[in-house]
Amino acid sequence: MTSNDGGGHMVKAESVHKHFGKAHVLKGVDFEVEPKQVIVIIGPSGSGKTTFIRCINHLEKIDGGRLWVDGELVGYEQKGDKLYELHDRDVARKRSEIGMVFQRFNLFPPMTAIENVMVGPIQVKGESRAAARDQAKKLLDRVGLTQKMDAYPAQLSGGQQQRVAIARALAMQPKLMLFDEPTSALDPELVGEVLDVMRQLATEGMTMIVVTHEIGFAREVGDALVFMDEGVILEAGKPREVVANPQHERTRQFLSKVL
């Protein structure tokens, strides 16, 4: 088994391909993320952004290439020249080390905010209810929701639900956080409260890959800005430089519409 072909990167993708039927969604993506970096991915709908980050935690299986997280192949092990898919329980164990925050919150409706945050550590890590509750309280305080611990998702605003979702992901103590358009389902006035939590995570050194259209966040917080279109990375660089002086015509077209 290769344990360190990722070369010290937190995430390394080599020529990653993904098909859905006849649709070739990822066409040989190469990508690297160092520990503690914040990488922001932008691009039009259908460009492969979401599919790519779903491949990083094996919610989607890649059809070609290699993908490592923290030096370990995602979803597979290598013996000799062959790849063998891991058992579901091994995939789940590795996935538990990667936090994922979705566009649509995905909270459990019959559970309160604190129960939503507790459920992963109890069910996946086998923590006691007391320890999980103690940690969940701290995390809800961290995202500014101490007052809403006992509220159900239906009683929370979209921004509050998304902050609970971030706390829930953090409860698993992930080494990497993936965000899939975390603010796109929110009313505009609620976007800031979620971005503030993400800024704080970046300050604390969390490695993050963020798919978003929030160019201001990318400029302010991102270490690199990646532009994807039609399943390939067309451009990548320092966010302020890419935004101010895009090198690719397609990047220019896209930014002219979102800025």
**CA-to-CA distance for 57 and 50, rounded, in angstroms?**
12
Average pLDDT over the chain reads 93
pLDDT (0 to 100) of residue 3: 43
Angle at 14 between CA 250 and CA 93, to 5 degrees: 115
The DSSP secondary-structure symbol of 175 reads S
Residue 16: strand, helix, or coil = strand
pLDDT in tens, 232-254: 999 999 999 999 999 999 999 99
pTM across the whole model: 0.93
pLDDT (0 to 100) of residue 5: 61
